[in-house]
């Protein structure tokens, strides 16, 4: 491990330069949900790769472009690194302590929209590559990057892109976009992601909004239609009522429960961090809470909108209403099947007036905890984090790992510098600088061990 | 009726001057729901009255001020005229063909927020008074004005104001803020208004919005809590489920049904005008539709808001959700009683986490169709509109007529120049200039007949 002294020394000395590059990257808005700044950001990413000697190109899709890059190395092995350059919308703006697209360094943290999810993960990995090139003059293996711009809108075109570019993306293993430490500062290896099926439900009940004194007794009300349709999907017992929704689910194994059981309890952490007074379904904590969090599918209302929403009262009967609904899927469920069952259910329940628009979908996928590549990533963490990684068989979030696992046939390892208060998707998103450095150190070690 | 030749001649000659005064009045925003421009507008109204020789003053309340004015006349009789200077919020702005607070004359119509509801009704009445003063040199009876600034937010402080000023407001009859013709151009006499109980339901389920991949399976979701609470209030059968909601209701009489039956069918008009494909409750038209429209209480969702409402998808579990809910009440129901029953119902159904805020309330009230003052207003319409007024025993809208009927003990007559496409509370609110002139003519006749 002698060569890591030089590498670590490079990382200490050049730290500010990497944070400066990250700040420039964060200052470029790239909001996929609102189609803001995507082309500009893809161009910026391409340039960041080219200055490292990568052959990089911006490849068009029907949505946001994908940045692809590769650089040859000493061994025949190929590592594929997946990141995304798009970010969540910054709203609600009034809750940010500094403007979301003006990166702000306060104490040992850097704040900004997308700073954690996922822009810093790309720059920290480039920083590790800089250190290897500076120390060894070459890469120890081939490295490919695939950096998409639609991760925050369910990666609508990525699956198709991968299917069309199987040869280009051929590799032996894959590093996922994110990772991090838990509340005990222990680095975590997340080996599976739930799938997602994100839909918008909308209804138009009248040609125009109407004075509520006139229409209330006799005209259909879009907001009521939406409420009743939503209520037909899930009741206070939290059971999803769409017939067939739970069909074909692959239940967690005894090994999964064993791995989950080995992880620390999260109940008190969640209560404190998110202001949860009581968990749903009577959950109190322990392994049951942890299992429920990731191994059950969900039906979450992410947004509701109808009629007048300003201060005070407006007596109007709304002609239009809509809801954003996010289903998280577990292994065995397929988004296209869920949408079809949702449509059928709404029709059968008398809600054929409710329009369903699929905004994004991806099935769940998992990597085998016993894959040799996973062992490399888990073991190399110890020197940097003073603890080996703990293996989490699956997490509650989603991402497009299905085509990496099932189309490219790769083991997919997570690593990164997220931490419990990183506020991804929320105001005041931030990273801790000490963890950023550790991720770069860990990355350099993974690349070199993998190349052997 | 010889003297009306002079009066009508004055109205024809000075028409543009009155429309100009109305335009100035509309150009002053006065949005009670958003607390915009109310004091400025009250001052403007006071000046409009003072130039007619009225003793006028702006009287403070705990909300928007009330403008009170009086001028003595020849007889001992006193007519009280009620108007309001506040207007509905102009949103959604993108649907206006001209800016809402820049009155725009197009063809035979004047467009602007509040132009119909209710600013033109005040200026047309002042215009009638101008004509009488110009012709006769004095008023034939005492006239008092009460012009409030909270009608569009349920007149929260008007009832208290009237109770505290019973002597000041003493009169023999009252003219209501609005009125108009129906789709056949027949002037209508509306003799009752439903009550209202307008509440905001809100819920906070977490300390902060959370990534929906994390919280969906285990944290309470504010939007779901709201949907389930709303669903407990009313189902697709349109029956309101709050226990005791229908108690004490005074049902319509045989006379009410007879009067409603005499009115023209509205089904086709509504379908065309508001884009209604089907009425609720299986209603098809005829007297049943007309009776249902006004003699049943309602529970209308006027607005819904929670989480992300922009374009595309955002995977967030919202910490906060709220709904605006408007109950229209029929005679016998009291808003404070309805709020108490709503609170109890939510608690009993497991929704004690839902906050209820009362934003405004007023009971229903009705005037006897056989009152002699009503006969004057109905009969004098014929000379102007070429048809006597048709009597509607009650309408679906609300207003603070309860204290006028029950505290001041007055018969309350409606008259005005509304018409079916006037778009009160909606974008492109407008008045027809021909009807504006007719309302001024009718008003002059009512004042002179009443004074006798």
Share in percent of chain B as helix, strand, coil (round to 5): 40, 25, 40
- C-beta atoms of A426 and B304 within 8 A: no
Inter-residue contact A273 to B288 (CB < 8 Å) = no
| Chain A residues touching residue B207 (CB < 8 angstroms) | 274-276
- C-beta atoms of B293 and A211 within 8 A: no
Strands (E), A266-382: 300-307, 316-317, 320-329, 355-362, 365-366
- Which chain B residue has its CA at the smallest distance from A155's CA? B313
Per-residue pLDDT band for B402 (boundaries 50, 70, 90) equals: very high
* pLDDT computed for residue A270 by the predictor: 93
- C-beta atoms of A208 and B279 within 8 A: no
Mutation target vs A (from B188, B226, B274; most A CBs, 10 A cutoff): B274
| Chain A residues touching residue B315 (CB < 8 angstroms) | 88, 152, 196, 198, 302, 326, 398, 425
Query: Is residue B370 scored above 90 in pLDDT?
Result: no
pLDDT digits (tens, 9 = 90+) for B410-447: 999 999 999 999 999 899 999 999 999 999 999 999 99
Average pLDDT value over all residues in chain A: 95
| Chain A residues touching residue B227 (CB < 8 angstroms) | 227, 230-231, 301, 304
Q: Look up residue B149 and give its DSSP letter.
A: S
Per-residue pLDDT band for A399 (boundaries 50, 70, 90) equals: confident
Q: How many CB pairs under 8 A join A and B?
A: 315
- C-beta atoms of B227 and A302 within 8 A: no
Inter-residue contact B204 to B319 (CB < 8 Å) = yes
- C-beta atoms of B328 and A216 within 8 A: yes
- C-beta atoms of A304 and B275 within 8 A: no
| Chain B residues touching residue A217 (CB < 8 angstroms) | 292-294, 296, 298, 328, 396
- C-beta atoms of A213 and B194 within 8 A: yes
* pLDDT computed for residue B214 by the predictor: 87
Give the closest-approach CA distance of A438 to chain B in angstroms.
Answer: 25
Share of chain A above pLDDT 70, in %: 100
Which among B315, B396, B426 has CB closest to A216? B396
- Phi, psi (degrees; rounded to nearest 5) at B329: -110, 150
Which among A210, A221, A397 has CB closest to B213? A397
- C-beta atoms of B220 and A276 within 8 A: yes
* pLDDT computed for residue B314 by the predictor: 86
- Which chain B residue has its CA at the smallest distance from A297's CA? B217
pLDDT digits (tens, 9 = 90+) for B115-161: 999 999 999 999 999 999 999 999 999 999 999 999 988 788 999 99
| Chain B residues touching residue A221 (CB < 8 angstroms) | 300-301
DSSP string, A213-236: HHHTTTS--HHHHHHHHHHHHB-T
Helix (H) or strand (E) holding A375: helix A372-385
Per-residue pLDDT band for A408 (boundaries 50, 70, 90) equals: very high
| Chain B residues touching residue A281 (CB < 8 angstroms) | 218
- C-beta atoms of B300 and A221 within 8 A: yes
| Chain A residues touching residue B216 (CB < 8 angstroms) | 298-300, 326, 328, 396
- C-beta atoms of B303 and A298 within 8 A: no
Both tokens of A123, joined, read 């720059």
Half-sphere exposure of A17 (CA within 13 A, CB side): 11
- C-beta atoms of B152 and A301 within 8 A: no
CA angle B357, B362, B368 (to 5 degrees): 165
Query: Is residue B1 scored above 60 in pLDDT?
Result: no
Q: Is B2 exposed, middle or buried (0-12, 13-18, 19+ CB in 10 A)?
A: exposed
Which among B198, B216, B350 has CB closest to A396? B216
| Chain A residues touching residue B350 (CB < 8 angstroms) | 236
> Peptide bond before B92: cis, by omega within 30 degrees of 0?
yes
- Which chain B residue has its CA at the smallest distance from A288's CA? B218
| Chain A residues touching residue B312 (CB < 8 angstroms) | 32-35, 153, 359
| Chain B residues touching residue A398 (CB < 8 angstroms) | 213, 315
pLDDT digits (tens, 9 = 90+) for B193-217: 999 999 999 999 999 999 898 889 9
pLDDT digits (tens, 9 = 90+) for A296-349: 999 999 999 999 999 888 889 999 999 999 999 999 999 999 999 999 999 999
Rounded to an integer, the average pLDDT of A5-31 is 97
- C-beta atoms of A316 and B302 within 8 A: yes
DSSP string, B27-44: HS--BGGGTBSHHHHHHH
Ramachandran class of B28: left when φ > 0, alpha when ψ lies in -120 to 50, beta otherwise: beta
For strand A109-111 and strand B365-366, is the pairing parallel, antiparallel, or unpaired? unpaired
* pLDDT computed for residue B140 by the predictor: 98
- Which chain A residue has its CA at the smallest distance from B91's CA? A308
Query: Is residue A2 scored above 80 in pLDDT?
Result: no
Inter-residue contact A83 to A416 (CB < 8 Å) = no
| Closest residue by Cα to residue A134 from A47, A13, A233 | A13
| Chain A residues touching residue B328 (CB < 8 angstroms) | 212-213, 216-217
Which among A33, A313, A316 has CB closest to B310? A33
Average pLDDT value over all residues in chain B: 95
* pLDDT computed for residue A370 by the predictor: 87
| Closest residue by Cα to residue A399 from A226, A203, A243, A174 | A174
| Chain B residues touching residue A274 (CB < 8 angstroms) | 206-208, 210, 215, 219
For CA atoms B286, B287, B289, B290, the dihedral sign is: positive
> What pTM value is reported for the model?
0.81
Inter-residue contact A428 to A105 (CB < 8 Å) = no
* pLDDT computed for residue B156 by the predictor: 84
- Phi, psi (degrees; rounded to nearest 5) at A152: -80, -5
Distance CA B274, CA A327 (A): 35
Mutation target vs B (from A157, A188, A217; most B CBs, 10 A cutoff): A217
Inter-residue contact B175 to B189 (CB < 8 Å) = no
Mutation target vs A (from B302, B319, B351, B360; most A CBs, 10 A cutoff): B302
Length of chain B in terms of residues written: 452
ipTM: 0.81
Query: Is residue A3 scored above 80 in pLDDT?
Result: no
Half-sphere exposure of B329 (CA within 13 A, CB side): 28
Note the helical H segments in B349-400.
372-385
Give the closest-approach CA distance of B6 to chain A in angstroms.
Answer: 39
| Chain B residues touching residue A228 (CB < 8 angstroms) | 231, 235-236
Mutation target vs B (from A195, A265, A304; most B CBs, 10 A cutoff): A304
pLDDT digits (tens, 9 = 90+) for B327-354: 999 999 999 999 999 999 999 999 999 9
| Chain A residues touching residue B307 (CB < 8 angstroms) | 301-304, 324
Domains assigned to chain B: 3-191+367-451 (3.40.630.10), 195-362 (3.30.70.360)
Q: CB neighbours (10 Å) of residue A254? A: 7
Mutation target vs B (from A218, A288, A397; most B CBs, 10 A cutoff): A218
* pLDDT computed for residue B183 by the predictor: 83
Rounded to an integer, the average pLDDT of B364-382 is 95
Which among A35, A212, A278 has CB closest to B300? A212
Distance CA A127, CA A121 (A): 10
Which among B154, B309, B315 has CB closest to A425? B315
Ramachandran class of B312: left when φ > 0, alpha when ψ lies in -120 to 50, beta otherwise: left
| Chain A residues touching residue B420 (CB < 8 angstroms) | none
Distances (CA, A) of A270 to A267, A302, B214, B377: 5, 19, 10, 68
């Amino acid at each position: 491990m002698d060569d890591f002294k030089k590498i670590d020394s490079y990382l200490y000395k050049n730290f500010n330069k990497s944070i400066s590059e990250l700040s420039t990257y964060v200052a470029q808005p790239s909001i996929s949900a609102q189609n803001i700044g995507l082309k500009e950001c893809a161009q910026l990413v391409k340039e960041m790769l080219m200055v490292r000697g990568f052959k990089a190109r911006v490849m068009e899709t029907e949505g946001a472009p994908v940045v692809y890059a590769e650089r040859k190395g000493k061994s025949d092995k190929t590592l594929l690194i997946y990141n995304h350059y798009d970010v969540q919308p910054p709203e609600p703006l009034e809750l940010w302590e500094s403007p979301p697209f003006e990166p702000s360094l306060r104490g040992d943290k850097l704040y900004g929209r997308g700073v954690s999810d996922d822009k810093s993960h790309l720059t920290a990995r480039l920083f590790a590559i800089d250190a290897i090139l500076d120390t060894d003059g070459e890469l120890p293996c081939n490295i490919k990057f695939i950096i998409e711009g639609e991760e925050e809108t369910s990666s609508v075109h990525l699956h198709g892109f991968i299917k069309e570019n199987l040869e280009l993306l051929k590799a032996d293993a894959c590093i996922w976009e994110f990772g991090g430490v838990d509340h005990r500062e222990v680095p975590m290896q997340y080996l599976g992601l739930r799938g997602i099926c994100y839909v918008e439900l909308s209804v138009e009940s009248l040609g125009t909004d109407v004075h509520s004194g006139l229409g209330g007794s006799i005209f259909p009300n879009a907001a009521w239609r939406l409420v009743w349709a939503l209520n037909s999907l899930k009741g206070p017992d939290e059971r999803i009522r769409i017939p067939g929704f739970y069909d074909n689910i692959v239940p967690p194994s005894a090994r999964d429960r064993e791995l989950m059981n080995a992880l620390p309890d999260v109940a008190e952490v969640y209560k404190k961090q998110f202001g949860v007074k009581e968990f749903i379904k009577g959950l109190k904590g322990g392994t049951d809470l942890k299992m429920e969090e990731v191994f059950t599918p969900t039906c979450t209302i992410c947004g509701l909108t109808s009629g007048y929403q300003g201060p005070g009262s407006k007596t109007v009967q709304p002609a239009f209403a809509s809801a954003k609904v996010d289903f998280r899927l577990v292994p065995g469920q397929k988004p296209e099947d869920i949408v079809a069952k949702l449509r059928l259910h709404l029709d059968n329940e008398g809600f054929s007036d409710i329009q369903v628009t699929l905004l994004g979908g991806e099935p769940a996928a998992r990597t085998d905890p016993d894959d040799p590549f996973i062992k490399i990533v888990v073991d190399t963490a110890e020197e940097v984090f003073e603890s080996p990684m703990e293996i989490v068989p699956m997490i509650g979030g989603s991402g497009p790992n299905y085509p990496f696992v099932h189309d490219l046939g790769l083991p997919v390892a997570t690593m990164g510098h997220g931490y419990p208060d990183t506020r991804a998707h929320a105001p005041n998103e931030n990273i801790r600088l000490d963890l950023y450095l550790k991720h770069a150190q860990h990355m350099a070690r993974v690349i070199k061990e993998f190349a052997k």
